[in-house]
Amino acid sequence: MKVGSKIKNFRAEMTGKTDFNFADYKNKKLIIYFYPRDNTPGCTSEGEDFRDNYNLFQKKKIEIFGVSKDTLKSHEGFKDKFNFPFELISDPDEKVCKIFDVIKEKSMYGKKYMGIERSTFLIGTDGKLINEWRKVKVKGHVEEILKNI
């Protein structure tokens, strides 16, 4: 996927009362951010940064969605525990991750495995990718996004 390319429609389970359907967000700007796992320190900090700046995104008419491979039940608990004002998309089969090409080889304690590379995508009202941030470092990330919008 390249900046300027159209995102193909997808559906996925999401917190809240309805499932996510990309087609439902035509004419809206979206931030879709991918993170490795609910309730881990980095992922919690990133979610809190989006939460704490949520009003700034809303003023710019941008909706935020977080995505990980965690279950819907895990997402509901994570969202409630940290009072996230945005919804979380559950992607256990990596369908959405594959659309955005965020599954990468990672390494922990010398062991290699495939997992989500922390990434954020800004999508325009026309459904095209405006900007992407890959290999995200949590500290200062949300502020960087806000500067670039």
27-148: CATH class: alpha beta
User: Averaged over 55-74, what is the pLDDT?
Assistant: 97
Residue 23: pLDDT band (50, 70, 90) is very high
Determine the pLDDT at residue 100: 95
| Non-local CB neighbours of 34 within 8 Å, separated by 6+ positions | 66, 67, 68, 97, 100, 102, 116, 117, 118, 119, 120
Q: Which residue has the higher pLDDT, 86 or 2?
A: 86
Lowest mean pLDDT among 16-20, 90-94, 120-124: 16-20
Which pTM was predicted?
0.94
Active-site residue list: 43
User: Averaged over 67-83, what is the pLDDT?
Assistant: 97
pLDDT value at 111 more than 90: no
- Is-contact 102 94, C-beta < 8 A? no
Percentage of the chain with pLDDT > 90?
A: 85
pLDDT value at 62 more than 90: yes
Amino acid at 22: F
Residue 2: pLDDT band (50, 70, 90) is confident
Q: Where are the domains of the chain?
A: 27-148
Percentage of the chain with pLDDT > 70?
A: 100
